[in-house]
């Protein structure tokens, strides 16, 4: 069928309302909000505008906290990587690392009681490298079998060297080990692992696990104050702290420079039993403003009541200074040694706190919660 020009024009005009209607339908369908999503067909333009407003509000409110989080707690974000970098269980009991004994010598002077050795292991062949930080421990699996024919269980020992090792090459770890001895049915029993380590010869292979532990780590703050309470081989972690703080070669190797005050209370039966004593005396002489060394020698000194001088007696003597330091939120307290020292220290701190009108039973958990009270006893 053919159409003339007039009919075509009139037909086209008749379709205009239909085309306009289709245009608005398509426009409604294709409308996009500021979020880039299609607006539903049922939305009117007012609803779409409301959607735009609410979407804008949502976006801006989501952005604001992000802007705040990037600017405010910069210091908090800096401390997290340090915590994540702490090595834990690089070597486990089923797959220990075999270290080589580098040296083994007695730490005691003439007239001392017992037997305490400083033992260093070569870690250079470890892969992954057996790294550690001050305040951690490693496990030792003694050679041989127990009475039931099973391998001996591992024993944990506090590390006595800084992360750089005693030779500062970062390839050794050292322990401070006292031979355990006790009486049973009239017989002297020697501890399995401690005897094994005290008797071991340079060149021998030893199964090592770890490192483990986050309880005794030093704070990152270079201006922190550190109070240390140690008896016997509990001096091991304290030695790592003090070497990191005051040993000249260690200080030159560290980017961390200690500027606070460190105070070591060390308990021993005789002067000859004081471990690493010459080093600590030297630190006190070289850094009198930063380090104080207080010794409690139970068989050679008397307390205020005329009895033997124990570490808790020294704490009582200096209670006012100690609590003045504890009032500073930058002060951390570390205790390491035999578990039997805890009640005495607790009693001394209770009395000292009471003299200042403070309830120690309430204060101690607060210090613990604030990560300022660190205890490792055995």
Residues 293 and 364 in one domain: yes
**Cβ contacts of 137 within 8 Å, gap of 6 or more:** 156, 157, 158, 159, 210, 211, 212, 213
pTM of the model: 0.77
Using alpha carbons only, give the angle 137, 290, 336 rounded to the nearest 5 degrees: 25
The answer to whether residues 175 and 197 touch, using CB atoms and an 8 Å cutoff, is yes
Residues 51 and 10 in one domain: yes
Residue 87 forms part of a structural domain: no
DSSP state of 303: -
Q: Does an H or E element contain 206, and which?
A: strand 205-212
> What's the confidence (pLDDT) of residue 28?
44
pLDDT tens for each residue of 173-210: 999 999 999 988 889 999 999 999 999 999 999 999 99
Residue 85 forms part of a structural domain: no
| Active site amino acids | 157-158, 336, 376, 378
The answer to whether residues 126 and 97 touch, using CB atoms and an 8 Å cutoff, is yes
The answer to whether residues 248 and 131 touch, using CB atoms and an 8 Å cutoff, is no
pLDDT tens for each residue of 325-334: 999 999 999 9
Q: Does an H or E element contain 369, and which?
A: helix 360-369
Tokens representing 189 are 């029993």
Separation CA 241–CA 263 (nearest Å): 11
Question: Cα–chain-centroid distance for residue 205?
Answer: 29
Say which CATH number the domain at 125 has: 2.40.30.10
Residues 251 and 354 in one domain: yes
> For the CA atoms of 302, 114, 139, 210, what is the dihedral angle to 10 degrees?
50
Mean of the per-residue pLDDT values of the chain:
82
What mean pLDDT do residues 9-21 have? 49
Last residue in a domain, options 195, 212, 229: 212
> What's the confidence (pLDDT) of residue 238?
98
Residues 229 and 298 in one domain: yes
Residue 97: exposed, middle, or buried by beta-carbon count in 10 A (0-12, 13-18, 19+)? buried
Residue 228 forms part of a structural domain: yes
Residues 340 and 323 in one domain: yes
pLDDT tens for each residue of 21-42: 554 444 444 433 433 333 333 3
Question: Cα–chain-centroid distance for residue 119?
Answer: 24
Query: Using only C-alpha atoms, what is the Rg of the chain?
Result: 35
**HSE, side-chain direction, 13 A CA sphere, residue 184:** 6
pLDDT over 80 (residue 154): yes
Q: Which residue in this structure is represented by tokens 């040694």?
A: 337
- Residues of the chain above pLDDT 90, percent: 68
Separation CA 97–CA 210 (nearest Å): 9
Residues 158 and 35 in one domain: no
The answer to whether residues 160 and 174 touch, using CB atoms and an 8 Å cutoff, is yes
Q: Which domain holds residue 53?
A: 5-79
Residue 264 forms part of a structural domain: yes
């Amino acid at each position: 069928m053919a159409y003339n020009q007039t009919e075509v024009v009139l037909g086209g005009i008749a379709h205009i309302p239909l085309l306009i209607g289709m245009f608005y339908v398509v426009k409604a369908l294709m409308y996009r909000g500021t979020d880039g999503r299609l607006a539903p067909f049922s939305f009117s333009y007012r609803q779409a505008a409301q959607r735009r407003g609410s979407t804008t509000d949502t976006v801006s409110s989501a952005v604001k906290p992000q802007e705040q989080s990037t600017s405010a707690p910069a210091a908090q974000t800096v401390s997290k990587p340090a915590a994540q970098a702490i090595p834990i269980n690089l070597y486990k009991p089923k797959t220990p690392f075999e270290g080589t004994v580098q040296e083994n010598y007695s730490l005691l002077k003439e007239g001392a009681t017992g037997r305490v050795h400083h033992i260093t292991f070569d870690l250079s062949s470890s892969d992954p490298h057996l790294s550690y930080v001050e305040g951690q421990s490693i496990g030792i699996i003694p050679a041989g079998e127990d009475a039931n024919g099973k391998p001996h269980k591992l024993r944990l020992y506090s590390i006595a060297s800084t992360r750089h090792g005693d030779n500062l090459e970062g390839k050794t770890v050292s322990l401070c080990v006292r031979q355990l001895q006790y009486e049973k049915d009239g017989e002297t029993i020697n501890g399995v692992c401690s005897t094994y380590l005290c008797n071991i010869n340079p060149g021998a292979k030893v199964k090592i696990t770890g490192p483990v532990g986050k309880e005794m780590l030093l704070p990152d703050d270079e201006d922190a104050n550190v109070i240390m309470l140690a008896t016997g081989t509990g001096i091991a972690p304290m030695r790592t702290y003090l070497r990191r703080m005051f040993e000249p070669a260690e200080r030159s190797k560290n980017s961390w420079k200690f500027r606070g005050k460190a105070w070591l209370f060390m308990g021993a039966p005789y002067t000859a039993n004081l471990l690493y004593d010459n080093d600590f005396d030297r630190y006190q002489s070289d850094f009198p403003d930063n380090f104080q060394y207080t010794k409690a020698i139970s068989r050679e000194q008397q307390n205020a009541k005329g009895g033997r001088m124990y570490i808790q007696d020294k704490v009582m003597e200096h209670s006012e200074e100690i609590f003045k330091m504890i009032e500073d939120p930058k002060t951390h307290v570390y205790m390491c040694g035999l578990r039997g020292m805890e009640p005495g220290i607790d009693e001394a701190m209770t009395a000292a706190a009471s003299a200042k009108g403070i309830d120690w039973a309430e204060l101690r958990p607060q210090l613990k919660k604030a990560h300022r009270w660190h205890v490792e006893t055995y």
